[in-house]
Amino acid sequence: MARMLLCLNAGSSSIKFSLYRVGPADALALEAHGQVEGIGVHPHFLAKAGDGATLAEQRWPEGAAFGHDGALRMLMDWIAADLAGGALLAVGHRVVHGGTRFHAPALVTPALLDDLAALSPLAPLHQPHNLAAIHACQAIQPGLPQVACFDTAFHRRQPDVATRFALPRALTQAGVRRYGFHGLSYDFVSRRLHALDPTLAAGRVIIAHLGNGASLCAVRDGRSLDTTMGFTALDGLMMGTRCGSLDPGWCSICCGRRAWTLLRSSICSIMNAACSVYPGCPATCANCRRATRRRPARRSTCMSTASRGTSAR
C-alpha cells in the first residue's frame, strides 16, 4: 500500500495542498497538488498531478455556503476516492506564528494548540485559519498525526540586534520584538541553493519572497541574519493588501487634530497584542498605560502634534 503525506497551507480564502508519495529510503515524490480557492465566495477546486496534468476540477456557484471545514472535508474525500490504495500517514501544516518558543516543526497536541491560539493577535489574518485547518483535520480523522511548521522558526537564530526594537528592554522581554515571517519559503530556498551551489550558499545572500505577501531576508551560510518583516507581517515591503513600512509622521500631517488620538490608539493596539501573548506582564501593562495616558491640551499645530507623537514613541 502506498504511503502518503499531505501538506496544507490554509489562508483566509484558500487552502493550498501538496500530496507526496513516500518511497524507498523515505524519498518523497509529488503525487498531486492544487488548491481550493474562493472559499465563502465562489469556490473553485483544482488538482494536478506531479507532471502538471489536471486530475480534477470543480466550481461551485457564487455565494455557495462553503467554509474551510467543507473545503477540507471535500479535499480529504477526494484523496480517499481518487487516489485509492494510498494510506495517509500524517498532515503537515504551515503555521505563520510560532513565537519565541518554537524553533522547529512540532507534533500537534492540545497544549501546542493553546500556545498557538494565544499568538493569534500577532497574526490575526493568518493564525486563526492555520489553526482551523488543524481542528478540521482532527474532526475528519481524529487519530491522524499532524505537524505544525512555523514561518517564524527560520529567523529564531538571528542576532539580538536584528530582533530588538529601540524600546525599553521590558517591552522586548514582554514580546514586542521582530519575529520575521515567510521562514518556510526562505528555508526551502536556502536548502535548494545549497544543493545547487554550496559555495554561493555559504556566502552572503539576499532572498526575495515576492507575492501577495512580500519580504526580503539577508542570509549567510543558510542562517537568517535580518528580514524586512517585524513584529507583525505588516512591516517591510509594500504588498498586495499591506502598505509595508510607514513613517508614523504621516499621522501628524494627514490627520491634524486627530493625530495624537490615532497614534495613541496604535500604541495601545501594539501593547494589547503584547499583553495578549504575555498576559499580566507588569512592565507591558505599565508602559501601555503610560503611553496612552491623556495629555494636557495644546495648540493644534502640526509641530505640536508631531512632538507629542515623537514623545509617545
DSSP state of 33: E
Q: Measured between alpha carbons, how far is 269 from 264 in angstroms, rounded to an integer?
A: 9
Into which CATH architecture does domain 2-150 fall? 2-Layer Sandwich (3.30)
Candidates 26, 151, 160, 187; catalytic one:
151
Q: Do domains 2-150 and 171-246 have the same CATH topology?
A: yes
- Measured CA to CA, the distance from residue 215 to residue 218 in angstroms comes to 10
7 has pLDDT over 90:
yes
The band of 242, judged by pLDDT with boundaries at 50, 70 and 90, is confident
- The CA distance from 16 to 35, in Å, is 4
Minimum mean pLDDT range among 66-80, 186-200, 284-298: 284-298
> What is the pTM assigned to this prediction?
0.78
Element (H, E) at 113: helix 110-118
Domain boundaries, the chain: 2-150, 171-246, 247-313
Please check whether the domain covering 171-246 is classified as CATH 3.30.420.40.
Answer: yes
Report how far residue 14's alpha carbon sits from residue 302's, in angstroms, rounded to the nearest whole number.
44
Q: Name the residue among 163, 196, 165 with its Cα closest to residue 180.
A: 163
What cell was used for 304? Answer: 505640536
Q: Please compute the mean of the pLDDT values over residues 202-220 and round it to a whole number.
A: 95
Name the more confident of 151 and 284: 151
Number of other residues whose CB lies within 10 A of the CB of residue 187? 20
69-89, pLDDT tens digit by residue? Answer: 888 888 888 888 876 667 889
Whether 255 shows a pLDDT value over 80: the answer reads no
Active site residue 151: yes
CB within 8 A of 115, min separation 6: which ones?
99, 101, 102
pLDDT 10s digits, 146-159: 999 999 999 999 99
Answer whether residue 258 shows pLDDT above 90: no
Report the C-alpha gap between 214 and 234 in whole angstroms. Answer: 10
